[in-house]
């Protein structure tokens, strides 16, 4: 089955700097890659996603890139703010095959002001 690895497990950045979180997946059939943000004690919330027919997607300060050949995808957050501090999860699934998401282990992002 699919296996998603996520790095780093923790990341500390200074406010205003950029943060990058990377994930690799094992199943080349995976074609949908969402990212979730989970604040302490809250539910995971979808912040951005990308499909395999696209190489990059941006939404204001966040962007996701996908390299299908290497089977990895990354989350980029620019101009980080204290409210970006949270746990971020990547995930992968095969759309049309149950829509079952497999999650990475998560990255704790701390933005220091």
Partner 1 sequence: DAGVIQSPRHEVTEMGQEVTLRCKPISGHDYLFWYRQTMMRGLELLIYFNNNVPIDDSGMPEDRFSAKMPNASFSTLKIQPSEPRDSAVYFCASSHPGQGGGYGYTFGSGTRLTVV
The answer to whether residue 89 forms part of the interface with partner 1 (CB under 8 A) is yes
Q: Check: CB of residue 82 under 8 Å from CB of residue 94.
A: no
Query: Whole-angstrom Cα distance, residue 47 to residue 12?
Result: 20
Q: Check: CB of residue 2 under 8 Å from CB of residue 98.
A: no
The answer to whether residue 101 forms part of the interface with partner 1 (CB under 8 A) is yes
Residue closer to partner 1 (CB basis): 32 or 65: 32
Angstrom CA distances, 46 to 14, 28, 34, 100, stand at: 24, 23, 7, 15
Residue choice 45, 67, 82, 112 for contact with partner 1 (CB under 8 A):
45
Compute the least distance from the CB of residue 59 to partner 1, in Å: 12
Q: How many residues bind partner 1 (CB under 8 A)?
A: 21
Residue ranges that bind partner 1, judged by CB under 8 A: 32, 34, 42-46, 49, 89, 93, 95-96, 98-106
């Amino acid at each position: 089955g699919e296996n998603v690895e996520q790095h780093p497990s923790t990341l500390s950045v200074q406010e205003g700097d950029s943060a990058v979180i990377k994930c690799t997946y094992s199943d080349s059939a995976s074609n949908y890659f969402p990212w979730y943000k989970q604040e302490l004690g809250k539910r995971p919330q979808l912040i951005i996603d990308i499909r395999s027919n696209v190489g990059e997607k941006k939404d204001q300060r966040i962007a996701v890139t996908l390299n299908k050949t290497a089977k990895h995808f990354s989350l980029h957050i620019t101009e980080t703010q204290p409210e970006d501090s949270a746990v971020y999860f990547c995930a992968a699934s095969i759309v049309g095959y149950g829509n079952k998401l497999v999650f990475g282990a998560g990255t704790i992002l701390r933005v220091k002001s």
